[in-house]
Amino acid sequence: MDHPLRTHRLIPADIELPALGSTEEVPAPDKVIHLRFFSTSGSAYWLLAEYDPETGLAFGFAEVVPGCGEWGCFSVAELSDLFVRRPFPVWIERDFFVTPKPFRCVTR
C-alpha cells in the first residue's frame, strides 16, 4: 500500500525484473541491480536484483545500518508500507536516477 506522500510506486508497472532465484549462479559483484530504494531520512538503502511479483519479495543488497550491508531477501510491500509520522515523516522512495548495472559499478 502506498501513502499520500509518495507520488510513485516502488516497482514500476512497466519494468521487467529477473525472477527470484534466477541469478543464483551469478557472483555478487556481477549481479545486475535494477532498482534502488532509500529512506527519506538517514542512509538506509536497498538494491534490488531479483523480484517475485506474486509474493512481493525481492533479493538484493541492503544497508540499513552504515557499514553493515548484506545480501538477502526483503519485502517490497513492507518497504512500501513503512511510514513513520513522528517526530517528522519518514518513508521509502525509489531512486529515479538508477539504471541497471552490475553491483560492482553501483555507487552506494
Higher per-residue confidence, 107 vs 65 = 65
Would you list the domain boundaries of the chain? Answer: 28-102
- Residue 23 has a pLDDT of 97
- Which percentage of the chain shows pLDDT scores above 70? 94
Query: Mean pLDDT throughout 15-32?
Result: 97
pLDDT band at 51 (very low <50, low <70, confident <90, very high): very high
Q: Is the pLDDT of residue 82 over 50?
A: yes
Percentage of the chain modeled with pLDDT above 90: 65
| Long-range Cβ contact pairs of 8-13 (< 8 A, separation 24 or more) | 8/94, 8/96, 9/80, 9/94, 10/35, 10/37, 10/76, 10/79, 10/80, 10/92, 10/94, 11/35, 11/51, 11/53, 11/76
Query: What pTM was estimated for this model as a whole?
Result: 0.90
